Structure 1
Amino acid sequence: MSDPADDPLSLAVRTGLPVEMRYLLDAFPRERWPTAGMAGTAAFWLQMHAGFRAQQVRMQAVTDQWRSGRIDLRQLHGGLLPLLQNFLGHLDGHHRIESGQYFPAFSRMEPRIEAGLALLDKDHDAIHAHLEALYRNGLAFHQAMAAGATGTTDAAARLAEVLDQAAAPLARHLDDEEEIVIPLMALRGDPHG
């Protein structure tokens, strides 16, 4: 298996979309989005992404409180795991709809952007690996808490670390996806609308 760092478009290393995938963004730049009065699916898409970002901030705040000693393991468990469960379920469902319904429809609408959509779909696979790691480590922390295990602090620390590791790739993906999808819908319309 090749190292994702060897691919300059890998979610693990890229810092933005390549020029050839930004032509729609050039036609409808991010600065125009707030004033465009977007409605329907484009507005909903941005709201969903804002929600994922907000969930990440809330989860990070809870882990930061624990790391700084302001809350204990019990409070971390009660504060973080419901947020994590909600985040995992919503993000997984969102990606399934995008990959299964929207990306194929967008590709038919705008064949030139197919490589960009394929990149976003590949991102979903990379993010899914992070979601799986978050699930496994969240479950391990929960089981350790329930059993009163001596390794509970280590399980909490591993979960916090995996949460940290997932943050940057997800942020990169959300930004890049918006820079393809929002201009596409603004310029070509909603494929399901």
Structure 2
Amino acid sequence: MTASTPKSNHDAIADNTLDASMPRHPESRLQSEWLFLYDKLPPDQWFSNDYVYKTSFWLSIHADIRKRQHVLIQISDAYHAGDIEWLEYRSQISSRINQYIFKLHQHHNIEDTGYFPQFMRMYPQLKAGFEILDRDHVHLDTLLNELQVLNSRLASSNTEDKALVEQLHQRLMDASELLSQHLTDEEDLVIPILGLN
């Protein structure tokens, strides 16, 4: 009869990796080893009484961004479907695009200069995850700058310009696709940090 040997640290780590949580969406770029805080505070607890006072402000900002983007796409789709005329489209979408861009730049600036560096100091093992989010911000800045140029053209256009509307729509869709992934990846990293600290 042979005595059983205790598991090595390597074996324990391998077992933990098999049990590691997966992020909330299949397109996530987050590695399972970055989700150790997510394991401790999964999404079904983010609004619980124990954590909501720490997590709700960040989640509400993201909800506002998603809502603004949804409204912009609805207006664009309504114009494409012929449900609204050119002048109504222009008056509805132009100021909303300006506010959308302003809110995103404001939120990203606060993250880039304050929160993300602080979070990386607290959890250096999450640096690679925050670098993904930083690269998203750079890409989003490019898309938002292009959107701003197109929107300025729209605001000064007195005649219907379907090509311009199509360009605006495409930039909105590009931003929507990237933001959808970015916001969810960000929440999976950030909300557990906020809730547990």
3-state DSSP of counterpart to 1:71? coil
Does 2:76 align with 1:63?
yes
Q: AA paired with 2:177? A: A
Task: Give the secondary structure class of the aligned counterpart of 2:68.
Answer: helix
Asked whether the 8 Å contact 2:136–2:182 carries over to 1, the reply is yes
Query: How much does 1:143 deviate?
Result: 2.4
The 8 Å contact of residues 65 and 104 in structure 2, kept in 1 or not, is answered as yes
Counterparts of residues 57-96 of structure 1 (less than 5 Å): 57-96=70-109
Query: Is 1:159–2:168 an aligned residue pair?
Result: yes
Unaligned runs of 5+ in 2: 1-25
Report the alpha carbon displacement of residue 21 of structure 1 after superposing the two structures with TM. Answer: 2.2
For each residue in 1:127-178, what CA deviation from the matched residue of structure 2 results, as whole angstroms up to 9, or x when unmatched?
Answer: 1111112111111222223xx3x6x221112111211121110110000000
Could you tell me the TM-score, scaled by structure 2's length?
0.81
Give the superposition deviation at 1:22: 1.9
Q: Distance in 1 between matches of 2:39 and 2:51?
A: 17
2:36 matched to which residue of 1?
23
Q: 3-state DSSP class of the match of 1:69?
A: coil
Bigger drift between 124-133 and 49-58 goes to 124-133
Task: Map 1:1-193; keep pairs closer than 5 Å.
Answer: 15-16=27-28, 17-40=30-53, 42-145=55-158, 148=159, 152-187=161-196, 189=197
Q: 2:129 and 2:49 mapped to 1: Cα distance?
A: 23
Amino acid at match of 2:169: A
Moved more, 172-181 or 136-145: 136-145
Residues 46 and 52, structure 2, Cα contact 8 Å, conserved in 1: no
- Count of residue pairs the alignment pairs up: 171
Q: For the Cα contact (< 8 Å) 1:63–1:160, is it kept in 2? A: yes
Distance 1:40 1:102 in 2: 17
Q: Hey, what's the Cα distance between the residues in 2 that align with 1:25 and 1:111?
A: 16
1:20, CA displacement in angstroms?
2.4
User: CA-atom RMSD, angstroms?
Assistant: 1.6
In structure 1, list runs of 5 or more residues that go unmatched: 1-13
> Are 1:73 and 1:153, in contact at CA under 8 Å, matched by a contact in 2?
no
Q: Larger radius of gyration, structure 1 or 2?
A: 2
Q: Letter of the 2:120 partner, please give it.
A: S
Q: Deviations over 1:68-125 (max 9, x none)?
A: 1010111111111111110000100110010101111111122221221122111111
